[in-house]
Structure 1
Amino acid sequence: MNGADREAGQWFDDDAGPVVRPYAMTRGRTTTAAPQRLDLIAVVVTEPHADDPDHTLAPEHLDIVDLCSTAPQTIAELAVELDLPIGVVRVLVGDLVHQELVHITRPVAPAELPDESILRDVINGLRAL
């Protein structure tokens, strides 16, 4: 962008398209007050009443609600789909959690899954009945 474009208030680059800085989307925030950890594999699920979200939300918030209304999405998937940095998506999802439009679920950790040998013993015990 050359100096004349900046003076005219033109906030886009012909090759890159519109430019909105990530800190503008999050209002300068880099963290969220969401009580859950919002790591890459945190799954975002819309609440049933999120069908008609507050239209004063930012377009990015509405995009997240829309994407998650068709199928739950991880933070990483949302970042890829929206072409936004992970940190920005975390803050935006945190806003939606605070407004109770989405909730976060955690995938089951492999260490918490039952041991395969226990499952086989249960199946064999059931067969023996």
Structure 2
Amino acid sequence: MTKQANAKPLILLLEDEVLIALTLQDELQDAGFAVAGPFTTCAAALGWLGAATPSMAILDAALKDGPCREIALELSRREVPFLIYSGHQENGQLLAEFQHITWIEKPVPSVVLVQACQKLLVGCV
């Protein structure tokens, strides 16, 4: 994806809980981000990644069709920063190879995620 100076950063959002997903989408958009998703399955997100690359991503550790490992690997290959926002405790088992990634355990106020996104994107400008 070519980054334009005035373009809003595009956040890929993977979340299978509808209320959480819609709230996050609204909060991110209000904070000045564009949002791809929310995607409720890994398959749908991988399909989207086949044609686009986000500025960063928020991944739930597991969606309706399983852990988000393949998406995390693809984002890593593309050097796209991401964080994990999950109801699963950070125990190193779900996404073991991504222990260095910021893991935010649900629930937290949306502002915490917005700030984490802003922090991740600072290093990418």
- Judging by fraction of residues, say which structure has more strand: 2
* TM-score normalised per structure 2: 0.28
RCO comparison, higher one (Cα < 8 Å, 6+)? 1
* TM-score normalised per structure 1: 0.27
